[in-house]
């Protein structure tokens, strides 16, 4: 059985999800900054992460990666530049300071709709490029669970006016998301969880 726990380190951070199945753990997004709080929260629950999944490269989703240098990381290749560009990752316009670093992790860049098995988890990676060029959602079909980052919220979608945003790709990305079963549970990058059934009436 899949178990999902959500943690939001502070008001500027995204939702960080610790996902467990059969004694194996994934972290979906890492929060705003490295530090003892998120690390302590994770270590209270597991001694080891099997992998980290990054929905996209904005500062509030990737900054905490510095606290987790060992696990393999899966993300959209187009957003890897976030680690070297403080305007693309949003840290300069929003924080007034540069978040730039070279991750020690080993990176994987899944293709659109590619399915990868990571220990107990079978994950389909869906490219949803409109909030950022490399935005991705992570779909666990067996558990009818979807992690959407900032591609879909409860009662909203991600903005497209930031560096890397592409409004013209929003509709096709949302159509891809809503092609999944409407019973799918949604864990967004900010705010409360929802389901595709609850959100579809807003868009289609």
Q: What is the pLDDT of residues 99-155, one digit of tens each?
A: 999 999 999 999 999 999 999 999 999 999 999 999 999 999 999 999 999 999 999
Q: Please tell me the CATH superfamily of domain 3-203, with its number.
A: Ribonuclease Z/Hydroxyacylglutathione hydrolase-like (3.60.15.10)
Question: Each residue of 41-93: pLDDT tens digit?
Answer: 999 999 899 999 999 999 999 999 999 999 999 999 999 999 999 999 999 99
* Mean pLDDT value across the chain: 95
**pLDDT at 202 (0 to 100):** 85
Q: Who's near 167: CB < 8 A, 6+ residues apart?
A: 130, 160
Tokens of 44: 């209270």
Task: Report whether pLDDT(18) > 90.
Answer: yes
Angle at 170 between CA 167 and CA 174, to 5 degrees: 170
* Torsion angle of the four alpha carbons 153, 162, 135, 144, in this order, in degrees rounded to the nearest 10: 0
Segment 162-170 shows an average pLDDT of 96
**Cα 177 off chain centre by:** 14
Task: Report whether pLDDT(34) > 70.
Answer: no
Task: Report whether pLDDT(32) > 90.
Answer: no
**pLDDT at 58 (0 to 100):** 97
Q: Is 40 or 28 the better-scoring residue by pLDDT?
A: 28
Strand partners of residue 124: 115, 139
Task: Report whether pLDDT(15) > 90.
Answer: yes
Nearest to 44 by CA among 82, 7, 85, 95: 7
Sorted by where each begins, the domain ranges of the chain are 3-203
| CA–CA dist 27, 49 (Å, integer) | 7
Angle at 152 between CA 64 and CA 103, to 5 degrees: 20
Q: Who's near 40: CB < 8 A, 6+ residues apart?
A: none
Cβ(125)–Cβ(116) below 8 Å: yes
Task: Report whether pLDDT(187) > 70.
Answer: yes
**pLDDT at 35 (0 to 100):** 67
């Amino acid at each position: 059985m899949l178990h999902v726990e959500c943690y939001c380190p502070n008001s500027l951070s995204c939702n960080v999800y610790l996902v467990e199945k059969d004694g194996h753990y994934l972290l979906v997004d890492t929060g705003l900054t490295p530090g003892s709080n998120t690390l302590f929260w994770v270590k209270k629950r597991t001694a080891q992460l099997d992998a980290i999944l990054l929905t996209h490269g904005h500062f509030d989703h990737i900054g905490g990666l510095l606290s987790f240098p060992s696990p393999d990381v899966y993300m959209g290749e187009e957003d890897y530049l976030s680690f070297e560009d403080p305007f693309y990752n949003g840290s300069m316009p929003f924080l007034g300071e540069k978040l730039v670093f070279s991750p020690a992790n080993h990176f994987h860049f899944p293709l659109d709709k590619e399915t990868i098995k990571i220990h107990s988890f079978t994950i389909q990676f869906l490219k949803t490029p409109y909030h950022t060029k490399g935005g991705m959602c992570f779909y666990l079909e067996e558990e009818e669970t979807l992690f959407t980052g900032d591609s879909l919220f409860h009662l909203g979608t991600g903005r497209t006016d930031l560096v890397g945003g592409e409004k013209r790709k929003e509709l096709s990305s949302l159509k891809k998301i809503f092609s999944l079963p409407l019973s799918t549970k949604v864990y967004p990058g900010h705010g409360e969880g929802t389901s595709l059934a609850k959100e579809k009436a807003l868009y289609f």
